[in-house]
Amino acid sequence: MINTTEPSHRTTLQDIADHCELSRSTVARVLNGNAGKFRIATATIEKVQQAARQLNYRPNRLARAVNDRRTHLVGISVPMYASDDITQEKKNANNHRITGILFSAISQHPLFKKYDLVLHNRDEHTDHPLDENEIQRDLLDGMIYSTPSLKHQEFFKTITKDIPLVLMGDIEELHDSLICIDINNRKMARQAAEHLLSIGRKKIMLLVPEASLSAICIQDRINGVRDALHASGIEDNPDFTRIIRADEKVIADFIRSSASIDQVDAILCLTDELAMLCMDPLEQRGLRIPEDVALMGFNGIDLFSEKAARLSTVKIPFHQMAYKATEKLLEVLEGKQPYTPGFCEIPAELIIRESTVKNSLN
């Protein structure tokens, strides 16, 4: 069946001009926010704005882009980890949850009202540097880039020749060239380890997520844990640092078969996901949490899980980080502030729960 309904008419600037009995240029100046530059009367501004609402006017993106040479599109790049297994699907679901938090924070910023967001899911592989052609930067006014790694530095140098970039992450070597927004991962990991030491745990195993190993934040967390151990006079034990896949079966097999598990009195996991995957296998092995093994996570994202409710962790304020990154970028795009490179630290919080309450060792 052929649809013979005529397409609905999209309100134009000329329609509003005819409605208000004004020139098209006057209407354009009002709706483009330039009325103040041309001494347009307040009554005229209100008349045009009321007509725009009444006629359901929506700006034409192409015309606006041609007019001010901007697309009003902001990109956000987030990592994804390609895999066919179900555990990785769960991990990507967790990434989507974090991405949802980022979207919410960005859209809530008052300066974002006249922009739209473009999502870039980038594949993360340790042997695959990011190619500059993977992002159509000519379509974007600017970009927020989440969870950077050292292998992306050349990409950053290239893309920032065309558009301003704000990192949601920290690369110390780029403090003089990029805006970096993040918690102090090294400091917070040290605090997490110091808490375990303060409750008498000296044999601390560090579990590092394999998929995120190249991320700067993970490297900073590793260094923070080592800082705490070295300050307490504890030497590195290679058996107590494990790079491991965040997979339910892999974790269960490791805890069931590893002789090192019987030697430790605490496990510090560099993500909450790893920590929660450890809970059931530890208890199945007959180890009580925290009496026999204290358990610490890092992220604080999964607030609705029974396991998360038991887990001590470092809570990362993803919403606040994204809001600040948005603010920094949009202030540059709107000409309110110059692009000023440097590190902006967002405070994080060490949350102590049941998994690390102070108990005497048996």
pLDDT digits (tens, 9 = 90+) for 213-227: 888 999 999 999 999
Which of 68, 86, 102 marks a domain boundary? Answer: 68
From 13-27, 76-90, 133-147, 160-174, the region with the lowest mean pLDDT: 76-90
Segment 111-121 mean pLDDT: 87
Q: Is residue 5 part of a domain?
A: no
From 3-12, 189-198, 353-362, the region with the lowest mean pLDDT: 3-12
Q: Is residue 2 part of a domain?
A: no
What is the distance between the alpha carbons of residues 223 and 216, in angstroms, rounded to a whole number? 11
Segment 201-219 mean pLDDT: 92
From 11-15, 59-63, 197-201, 272-276, the region with the lowest mean pLDDT: 59-63
Q: Is residue 6 part of a domain?
A: no
Q: What is the pLDDT of residue 86?
A: 41
- Give this prediction's pTM: 0.78
171 & 198 share domain: no
Which of 40, 68, 96 marks a domain boundary? Answer: 68
199 & 309 share domain: yes
209 & 300 share domain: yes
**Per-residue pLDDT band at 114 (split at 50, 70, 90):** confident
Specify whether the CB–CB gap between 181 and 167 falls below 8 A. yes
214 & 312 share domain: yes
Segment 69-94 mean pLDDT: 66
Q: Is residue 362 part of a domain?
A: no
Check whether 84 has a pLDDT greater than 60: no
Q: What is the pLDDT of residue 155?
A: 83
311 & 338 share domain: no
54 & 160 share domain: no
Which of 41, 68, 95 marks a domain boundary? Answer: 68
Q: What is the pLDDT of residue 120?
A: 83
What is the distance between the alpha carbons of residues 190 and 232, in angstroms, rounded to a whole number? 11
Scanning the chain, the segments in alpha helix (DSSP H) are 13-20, 24-31, 42-54, 61-68, 86-108, 153-159, 185-198, 216-231, 248-257, 272-284, 306-310, 318-333
Domain harbouring 19, CATH code: 1.10.260.40
pLDDT in tens, 4-45: 444 467 888 899 999 999 999 999 888 877 788 888 999 999
58 & 99 share domain: no
Q: Is residue 107 part of a domain?
A: yes
Q: Is residue 264 part of a domain?
A: yes
Q: What is the pLDDT of residue 284?
A: 95
81 & 178 share domain: yes
Kindly report the backbone phi and psi dihedral angles of residue 352, in degrees, each rounded to the nearest multiple of 5, phi listed first.
-100, 120
Maximal CA-CA distance, the chain: 87
Check whether 96 has a pLDDT greater than 60: yes
Check whether 173 has a pLDDT greater than 50: yes
Most confident stretch, 4-8, 99-103, 303-307: 99-103
179 & 322 share domain: yes
The share of the chain scoring above pLDDT 70, in percent, equals 85
192 & 276 share domain: yes
Token readout for 137 is 């930067």
Q: Is residue 311 part of a domain?
A: yes
Kindly report the backbone phi and psi dihedral angles of residue 27, in degrees, each rounded to the nearest multiple of 5, phi listed first.
-60, -45
Cα angle 326, 319, 185 (rounded to 5 degrees) comes to 95
How many domains are there within the chain? 3
Domain that holds residue 129: 73-183+317-347
Q: Is residue 229 part of a domain?
A: yes
137 & 199 share domain: no
- 272 Cβ partners below 8 Å, 6+ apart? 297, 298, 299, 300, 301, 302, 308, 311, 313
From 14-28, 46-60, 64-78, 238-252, the region with the lowest mean pLDDT: 64-78
Domain harbouring 260, CATH code: 3.40.50.2300
91 & 179 share domain: yes
